[in-house]
Amino acid sequence: MVFSSPVPAPAVEPSPAAWVVRHAASEPDRVAVVDGVTGDRLTRADLAERSAAVAAGLAKRGIGPGDVVALAMPNLAWWPVVALGVWRAAAVLAPLSPAWGPEETGRLAALARPRIAIAAGPLVRVVRGALSAAGIDAEVVPVDEGLLVADADAFAEPRLGPDDHAVVTFSSGTGGLPKAVVLTHGNLAASAAQVATSFASAGTYDADSVTLAGAPFFASMGLGTALCAPLVAGARIVTHSRPDTTQVLELIGRHRVTHATVSLTAVEELAVHPLTERYDTSELQFVGTGGAHLPPASELRASERLGCLVRDGYGMTEATSMISGPLGGPNDPETVGWLAPGTEARVVDPERGRDVAPGRPGELWIRGPQVMTGYFRDADATAATITPDRWLRTGDLVRIRDDGQLVIEDRLKELIKVRGASVAPAELELVLREHPSVRDAAVVGRPDAERGEVPVAWVVLSSPAPADELSAFVRSRVAPHKRVHDVRIVDRLPRMPSGKLLRRELRRRERDAVATAGTEVS
């Protein structure tokens, strides 16, 4: 059975870069970008002029259509300037995380093989060393006026087709090693329209809107929701580069933010932050997040305290940004909303490859204008993920309710097999988070000689609680085979800047613990 979004497919042309030029031509003096740290402001004309100068600067260095340009920078006002300049040069952007160390930077950059890299501040040295160690012969250029070439035509609309490559970005690697994902200008434009529809679910989203970019631009959530959507809509972008909840509240009040994209951790902190009511959030219409499913109670509590709709959406890098979210109104917090505009879905038995009965869980397959071209220079991985008729196998276990809303059960690769029975970590994590002393929780499988695997919980506490109390709390609420066999209390969990949990790191620690002990603890 094929499910369809209740909203038709959006237009896929032109590219976000073309929209920026059009907005600048129509109202050049409107503010387009505000740096949340320095307060620097760029008008639409500034954005068009500086991005054109970046494009000319790249062309002067021999960078042209199809060439890959790496970018390492936190969420600063220069980020959209450089990204737009790369696109206006018809080159391909490869965003790098400013949080990566040299080894990770080099390993991931090697997947994209950039011809040149642009970096901010101390990241110049990090990127230069990382590329050299990885055997990549590429110039590393600092972000400053030397990157620009004067007298570029600010209002020349780029000739970019929907199938032209725009971005080589990296899947999160939460279930395995990251891969380089190729996104087109059509993907970016379609995703921007899909996100704008979701943003408008609690009001309006247009040129008068103000978006807080609290999700990192280098990640798919930030790229789609915090950058491309406001660029296409002509909305103002306020950049936010530090994981500071108080600063989030200050920026929302100071800039009269209407829409915010922040990490999952930030939403949970806003729901309990002692100073939330002291800041002016009266203009807020919508706060979105992603990376994992928030407990419904956290969404509702954050919505009440901020006075607006707070929801987590569902997406993945291979689908640019958005797969589902609130459309036309609030979704049930138990769900991740409805399929994005123009998106089709199937729910497939992962072992038999056949559609399951309506309402039953299975692997989600999607098809739509936001689905990637494929993995960069990796035909085998592309064929394993995208079917010949363009269905993207998400690897996520979901069910679709009668009303069309999606319920995420878990990642298929993260299911824990206990004597052949599947245990969903997300289910146990939600149970743990219901305990009043638990602030954050993650569950992974630990190798076990008798059972194959057993669930082990990693927990961050907000107030003291013994491990055996937490184990008993879960045991009283789940089937016997789902009980957690160990609770590890830690100061923090390994997460990406987007808030997505790095389960592979916890699984590695469990394997190391078993190997060190010389036996498998049960």
Compute CA distances 76 → 48, 98, 111, 210, 259, whole Å. Answer: 17, 12, 25, 16, 18
Same domain for 431 and 357: no
The answer to whether the peptide bond before residue 494 is cis (omega within 30 degrees of 0) is no
Three-state SS string over 169-180 comes to EECCCCCCCCCE
Residue 228 within a domain:
yes
Comparing C-alpha atoms, which of 45, 79, 418 is closest to residue 223?
79
Q: What was the pLDDT predicted at 172? A: 61
Residues 146-158: pLDDT tens digits?
889 988 899 999 9
- Dist CA 41 CA 34 (whole Å): 5
Please say which residue of 357, 375, 400 terminates a domain.
Answer: 400
- Dist CA 386 CA 367 (whole Å): 9
**Residue 419: Cβ within 10 Å count:** 11
Report the CATH number that the domain containing residue 461 is assigned in CATH.
Answer: 3.30.300.30
Residues in the chain with pLDDT < 70? 172-177, 292, 420, 497-498, 518-522
Residue 522 within a domain:
no
Do the beta carbons of residue 496 and residue 219 sit within 8 Å?
yes
Please say which residue of 400, 431, 465 terminates a domain.
Answer: 400
Residue 156 within a domain:
yes
Same domain for 447 and 393: no
Residue 112 within a domain:
yes
- Dist CA 126 CA 490 (whole Å): 30
- Dist CA 173 CA 208 (whole Å): 37
Residue 71 within a domain:
yes
Same domain for 101 and 222: yes
Instruction: Look up residue 511 and give its amino acid.
Output: R
Residue 407 within a domain:
no
Bridge-partner residues for 94, per DSSP?
70
Please say which residue of 375, 400, 425 terminates a domain.
Answer: 400
Q: What was the pLDDT predicted at 518? A: 57
Do the beta carbons of residue 264 and residue 289 sit within 8 Å?
yes
Is 130 in a helix, a strand, or coil? helix
Residues 308-352: pLDDT tens digits?
999 988 999 999 999 999 998 888 999 999 999 999 999 999 878
Same domain for 266 and 139: yes
Same domain for 245 and 301: yes
Same domain for 393 and 367: yes
Same domain for 19 and 94: yes
Q: How many domains does the chain have?
A: 2
Same domain for 449 and 360: no
Please give the helix or strand (H or E) that residue 52 lies within, else none.
Answer: helix 44-60
HSE at residue 199, side-chain half, CA atoms within 13 A, is 28
Q: What was the pLDDT predicted at 522? A: 34
Helix axes 245-254, 264-272, angle to 10 degrees: 80
Which residues touch 175 (CB under 8 Å, ≥6 apart)? Answer: 395, 411, 413, 414, 503, 504
Instruction: Look up residue 522 and give its amino acid.
Output: S
Parent domain of 347: 3-400
- Dist CA 479 CA 500 (whole Å): 27
Same domain for 387 and 423: no
Report the CATH number that the domain containing residue 80 is assigned in CATH.
Answer: 3.40.50.12780
Residue 408 within a domain:
no
Same domain for 282 and 141: yes
Residue 405 within a domain:
no
Same domain for 451 and 390: no
Same domain for 230 and 199: yes
